[in-house]
Amino acid sequence: MNATENLFTYGTLQLTGVQLETFGRTLQGTPDLLVGYRLVQIEIQDQDFVAKSGTANHRNLQFTGDPNDSVQGIAFKVTKQELENSDAYEPTGYQRVLVQLKSGANAWIYLDQQPPKSTK
């Protein structure tokens, strides 16, 4: 059996159709919590991703460091090859980062590397 890693998802990677297209199978996962982050709405500029996902508006993780902030999601078991497939699925400008979930498990997440738009 291939070694697996955790991929924490909170959006489109939870959708069966996206999983089948990206991984060729339906993923098995466990609900978990990512503490110190919150969800923000962003507009994706990567037109290939917009076409695959069906919309330019997506939720994205933003690090706050505040223990009162958290994001609910699912930690899926994936192989290294499937992580690479996930890298290819995510839009341009996203970076995969290793974090620790509330359960204590380590998991990969994707962060938009564009600076947040100022709301001031």
CATH number of the domain encompassing residue 99: 3.10.490.10
29 is a domain residue? yes
Q: pLDDT by residue for the chain (120 residues), tens digit each?
A: 468 999 999 988 898 988 999 999 999 999 999 999 998 876 666 666 656 656 666 677 888 999 999 999 999 999 999 999 999 887 777 789 999 999 999 999 988 776 554 443
Cα 9–chain centre separation: 4
Q: 10: which residues sit within 8 A by CB, 6+ positions away?
A: 34, 39, 59, 61, 71, 72, 73, 74
Report the C-alpha gap between 75 and 39 in whole angstroms.
17
> Can you give the pLDDT at residue 3?
83
Angle between helices 16-23 and 80-89 (to 10 degrees): 110
Report the C-alpha gap between 25 and 44 in whole angstroms.
26
Contact 60, 44 (CB under 8 A): no
83 is a domain residue? yes
Query: Residue 57: which domain range?
Result: 4-112
62 is a domain residue? yes
> Can you give the pLDDT at residue 118?
40
Give me the numbers of helices (H) and strands (E) for the chain, helices first please: 3, 7
> Can you give the pLDDT at residue 119?
40
Q: How many domains, in total, are found in the chain?
A: 1
> Can you give the pLDDT at residue 95?
87
SS3 (DSSP) at 22: helix
> Can you give the pLDDT at residue 62?
83
119 is a domain residue? no
Report the C-alpha gap between 79 and 63 in whole angstroms.
26
